[in-house]
Amino acid sequence: MDIKSLAANAKAAWARRAGPGDFIRRMMLVYSGHLPSVLVRREWTIGCNYPRPIGRLQLCLRSNNGADAFVHSEIFEHEYYRLPFRAAPRTILDLGANTGLSAIYFARLFPDAELACVEPAPDNLRVLNKNLELNGVHAVVIAAAVDAADGRTRLELGERDYGHRIVARSSGGSRPTLDVEAVSVPTVLGRLSWERIGLLKVDIEGHEAVLFARDCDWLDRVDAMCIEWHVEGGPEHLAALAERFGFAAPCRLPGNIWLLTRQHCGAEAAAAPC
C-alpha cells in the first residue's frame, strides 16, 4: 500500500466527511480491495460535505474495483464539470449518466434547470435512482443507450462499471453483453418535450464518434456541450463539428473533457486551454 496515497486519501476523506462514521466508510470503500472479505460491503452510503453550492450529500457508492470511487473523485474532488458558465442552462441532458453523480453535481450547480439522465446498464440505473432519491434531485431517467438511431443495441459490460460500451453485434469478445434499448437524441427530446438542450453532457465510452458521425442535425438545438472523448481524432472531429454547427472552437478541460459553447448561451471558456 502506497503510504503517500493513503495519507492523501485519508486527508480528503476527513476534510469532506459529514460525520466520523463517514470518514471510516469512505476509507473502507477506497481500500475495499485490501480488506478481508468479511469487512467488504457490496455498497456504502457515505455522507459528504462540500463547499457551497454542492453542500451536504448522501452518496451510494459500490465496492467495484475502485470504479465508483474514481468517478466520485473526478466529479466532486477534482470538479471536472465545474464549467465556466456566466448564465445557468435551463435544461441539462446527461448521456451516460452512470450512477447519477454528475447529475447530482449539475443539480447543485444549476438548481433551477430541468434534468434528464440516459443510462443503459441495469445496476448503474439502480444506483442512479437511489442517489437521486437520497439527494432530493428530480430528474427524468431513461433506461436506454443513446445512439444515432432508435432500436436495439448490444452493450458490452466493462471490467469497471464506468466502462460499459456499445459494440457491433457481429463483434466477438470475452466480455458479457446485454441487449438494450437504443434511443436517438431527437427521440429523447420528444419524450421530454424539450425544444432545446441548454447543456449536453456526453460520456459514452467511445460511442461519441458514432453519435456525432451522422444524422446529428439535432445539434442545432444544443446551446453548450461537454464531451469526454475516448477515441483518436477528438480535437479534429470536434473542431469540424463546431464549425459545422456554429459553436466556438472547442476548449479542453481536465479529464479529457471538451467544452463547446455558443456565444448566446452565456458561457465564458477563455480560462480553459484551447
Grid cell listed for 233: 481524432
Residues 116, 209 within the same domain: yes
Length of the chain as a residue count? 274
Q: Which pLDDT belongs to residue 264?
A: 53
Residues 130, 262 within the same domain: yes
Range of the domain at 43: 1-77
Residues 64, 88 within the same domain: no
Q: Which pLDDT belongs to residue 192?
A: 98
pTM: 0.93
Q: Which pLDDT belongs to residue 1?
A: 67
Residues 169, 227 within the same domain: yes
Residues 56, 96 within the same domain: no
Domain count, the chain: 2
Q: Which pLDDT belongs to residue 93?
A: 98
Q: Which pLDDT belongs to residue 228?
A: 95
pLDDT digits (tens, 9 = 90+) for 211-266: 998 789 999 999 999 999 998 889 999 999 999 999 999 999 988 899 999 865 44
pLDDT over 70 percentage in the chain: 94
With a cut of 70, which residues of the chain have pLDDT below it?
A: 1, 170-172, 263-274
Q: Which pLDDT belongs to residue 119?
A: 98
Residues 46, 57 within the same domain: yes
Residues 158, 164: contact at Cβ < 8 Å? yes
Residue 25 CA to residue 29 CA, distance in Å, equals 6
